[in-house]
Amino acid sequence: MGTIVEGEGTDQVNGYGGEKEPGGEHGGPLTQEQVLGIKETWAVLAQDPIERGADLFMKIFEDDPDLKKLFYFADEGRELSREDQRMRSHGERVMEAVGAAVDNLGDLSPIVPVLTELGALHYKYGVQPSYFDTVGAALIYTLETNLGDKLTPGVRQGWVQVYGIVGATMKKGMQQAMDQQNMGKTCP
């Protein structure tokens, strides 16, 4: 994976294998201002990753309640509270993954194998590529509600770009898992 920072050897955002995020909406490399803004805003969120993870999942389930069925902590028929320790633990792990992406903004290649594997794992859990839109919107909402004016339009766009790359890499892992599964069905 290449760099996603302007002036560091690329003229476009490399999601994985040189391909751009499907839809091409992320626009180009992150500016140094965006990188600094992402790192500064992440520092605010990272002060309480458990609460921010709970914010994220509550928004995901508010926007698409059907996604609850995919999570071990959302037992069917049980009202899910932001105080649910299993959800909070999962949310914390998601925030740690976001933090790893932020820590590697200059070169995401160290986390590509992890994201690809996460994508394959999520495929096995029944995650559909379209669910990434819900999660991305919930992430941006979480940023907006927790950061207020600190989330400038440029920094917000940077976050959208980073999430697009993370999502595209995970989708690639999902596709690889699907291809492997399909190959197993067709090969004797």
124-177 confidence digits (pLDDT tens)? 999 999 999 999 999 999 999 999 999 999 999 999 999 999 999 999 999 999
Residue 161, CB-side half-sphere exposure with 13 Å CA sphere? 26
Count other C-beta atoms under 10 Å from residue 80's C-beta: 17
* CA distance to 4, 47, 91, per residue, from 85 (Å): 35, 18, 10
Q: What is the pTM of this model?
A: 0.81
Look over the chain and give the mean of its residue pLDDT values, rounded to a whole number: 84
6-30 confidence digits (pLDDT tens)? 443 333 333 322 333 333 444 578 8
pLDDT band at 76 (very low <50, low <70, confident <90, very high): low
Could you tell me which of 159, 133, 171 has the C-alpha nearest to residue 16? 171
94-120 confidence digits (pLDDT tens)? 999 999 999 999 888 899 999 999 999
Q: Give yes or no for a contact between 118 and 126, defined as CB atoms under 8 angstroms apart.
A: no
Amino acid symbol at 20: K
What secondary structure does DSSP assign to 32-91, as a single string? Answer: HHHHHHHHHHHHHHTTSHHHHHHHHHHHHHHH-GGGGGG-TTS-TTPPP-TT-HHHHHHH
pLDDT for 181 equals 87
